[in-house]
Structure 1
Amino acid sequence: MIHRTPSGTRDVLPDEMRELRAITAALHGVFEGSGYGELYTPALEYESVERMAGGQGVYRMFDETTGEMLALRSDMTVPIARVVGTRYATADPPLRFCYFAHAYRAVRPQRGQAREFLQAGIELVGSPAPQGTVEALTVLCRALDAAGLRDYRVGLGDASLFPALLAGLDVPEETRARMLRELVDRDYVGLEREASQLGVRDEVLRVAQTRGGPEVLEAPPGPVADAFEGLRAMHALLDPDVASRVIFDLGLIRDLDYYTGAVFEVYDPALGAPIGGGGRYDDLLGRFGRPLPAVGFALGIDRLHIALTGEERG
């Protein structure tokens, strides 16, 4: 007999469920109050839909009744891109959506990662940078404030920055892919080894390990000038309360292929992992027939709950 849940999944009992509902209610109030309408999509998508966005870490299955390949959604950004391309094909932008939904990732259980998790987030479609990104960051901070999180910070970078740096340093394409993977994994030992072999160690590590306030954007190296300018323009538009939460992280690259510009992650001292994150994905909607700029974020409700509990305990 089986008496436990599969690794990477868990039961949620009533006391904790009430606390999670209180968190989602606080987030929902901010999302709806900011003009984001809630939607829901099927947990099952055609596998080809997930593949259009890269398809990493996706649970795939063969439907014996129809002969079709299906997939469990790995996030809500891709399904919402599909919805925009089909149900909002002629709607005037900007379009604002929010969601509260479970997502699924095919990860190795021994890494302690969840394979099923509840996410809350927004997607802002049709609003270009920097204004759209500023709106998303503002909603993010207001939502975390409403949930009661006090000590969080938002790491802010640009997904185009490091690839531009490596291209400017004439790093071979196959090596670039490995170095980007090492940066995503924060494997600085591997990154330093690769860079040293190519004679670009100092240039690579200087950018990869730079974090701080707006002063880190004052003297950009040539290949990353455009990314620096975009980050400066965005920072200039941020409300002071939001700007006070931001730490520029020039080595930040998120583990999804569709990000094109600004990317960000939420951290709190009470949790040793990101609570959530997001960024710009200006090319994704075009794959679904609606080429519009877009930005969004997702928060892990379980991780947010852990961080809130940790702050309360001091």
Structure 2
Amino acid sequence: MNKDLLPPEIAMRREILQKIATLLERAGYAEIVTPTFEEYDRLSAGLPEHLKSAAYRFFDHRGVQMILRPDITTQIARVAGTRLRKQNGPLRFYYSGDVYRAAQLEIGQNQQFHQIGVELLGVSGARGDQEILKLAENVLRTIGLKNYRIEQTNAGQIQRLPAKQRQALQRQDFVALGRLPRLSELLPVDLDYYTGLYFECFVPEMGYILGSGGRYDNLCAVFGRQRPAVGCAFNLDKLLLALAAQRG
């Protein structure tokens, strides 16, 4: 965001967020709110390297290193592994809040931007994957977006490729790969974070991702309890840009 919002902009953002929140609550997801900043050591073990390097960090009055959240998924995994450690059965949460990343800027993304997303904890395999994929599609449909696409791949399958093929894909060295890659193999999936499904939502005419998600079965164990987990998040500013472009 990184800017002042005037009343008409606020009204539009609230309308979109309310439509999405209503959809998610009807699907059985409960809202969770996490701190805007917290102690770095509480969160760092679960953050992927690219988010650690993009995070804003500072020291508080005690000399303790703090972090402005670059991501909300990691915080929810922390809650599930600590305060909800003894709770069994699936956990379904949605969240809506600003995140902060000192990252290279692209269209529709500033250092501060609003995410709305869902996390499904405790449901493994295809059943959980399909629930999240269907929710992502319903979000885009509910806000009135047309001509969107959802491309998916599987991090586990890419990990099982021979090392030379996997490295060639990461470098996009198709000569070394020895074949033309499938579109799903070109998605920029973080193989150290995602363990299965990974997907991106976009409109073909626009050069940016509206939202993404996938399966991250190893994250919750970092915070004290192993749970299979899958989720996705949307960038509100990018959704608004896509809707504005659609209206012309």
TM above 0.5: yes
Consecutive unaligned residues in structure 1, runs of 5 or more: 1-7, 184-189, 212-248
One-letter amino acid of the structure 2 residue matched with residue 284 of structure 1: L
State the shift of 1:85 in Å: 1.0
TM-score (norm 2): 0.90
1:49-198 equivalences under 5 Å are 49-52=42-45, 53-54=47-48, 55-63=52-60, 65-108=61-104, 113-167=109-163, 169=164, 176=167, 183=170, 191-192=172-173, 196=175
Matches of residues 1-314 of structure 1 in structure 2 within 5 Å?
Answer: 9-52=2-45, 53-54=47-48, 55-63=52-60, 65-108=61-104, 113-167=109-163, 169=164, 176=167, 183=170, 191-192=172-173, 196=175, 200-203=176-179, 206-207=180-181, 210-211=182-183, 249-255=184-190, 257-313=192-248
Aligned to 2:146, what secondary structure does the other structure show?
A: coil
Q: CA RMSD in A?
A: 2.1
- Alignment partners' CA distance in 1, 2:24 and 2:105: 32
Measured in 1, the distance between the counterparts of 2:24 and 2:131 equals 12
Helix, strand or coil for the counterpart of 2:161?
A: helix
Q: Is the 8 A contact 1:159 1:253 kept in 2?
A: no
Partner deviation per Cα, 1:181-226 (whole Å, 9 max, x = no partner): xx4xxxxxx532xx65xxx3324xx23xx13xxxxxxxxxxxxxxx
Q: Report which of the two structures shows the higher radius of gyration computed on alpha carbons.
A: 1
Matched-pair contact (CA < 8 Å) for 1:270–1:310: no
How far apart are residue 38 of structure 1 and its match?
0.3
Percent identity between matched residues is 36
Distance 1:97 1:110, change over 3 A: closer
Structure 1 stretches of 4+ moved >4 Å: 109-113
Please give the secondary structure, in 2, of the residue aligned with 1:100. strand
- The TM-score normalised by the length of structure 1 is 0.72
Which sits farther off after the overlay, 23-32 or 156-165? 156-165
Q: Is the 8 A contact 1:260 1:282 kept in 2?
A: yes
Task: After superposing the two structures, state which structure 1 stretch, 100-109 or 8-17, moved more.
Answer: 8-17
CA displacement 1:105-138 (0-9 Å, x = unmatched): 1114598841000000000000001100100011
Residue 186 of structure 2 aligns to a residue in which SS?
Answer: coil
**Paired residue type of 1:191:** Q
Larger CA deviation: 28-37 vs 251-260: 251-260
Query: Do the aligned residues in 1 keep the contact of 2:107 with 2:208 (CA within 8 Å)?
Result: no
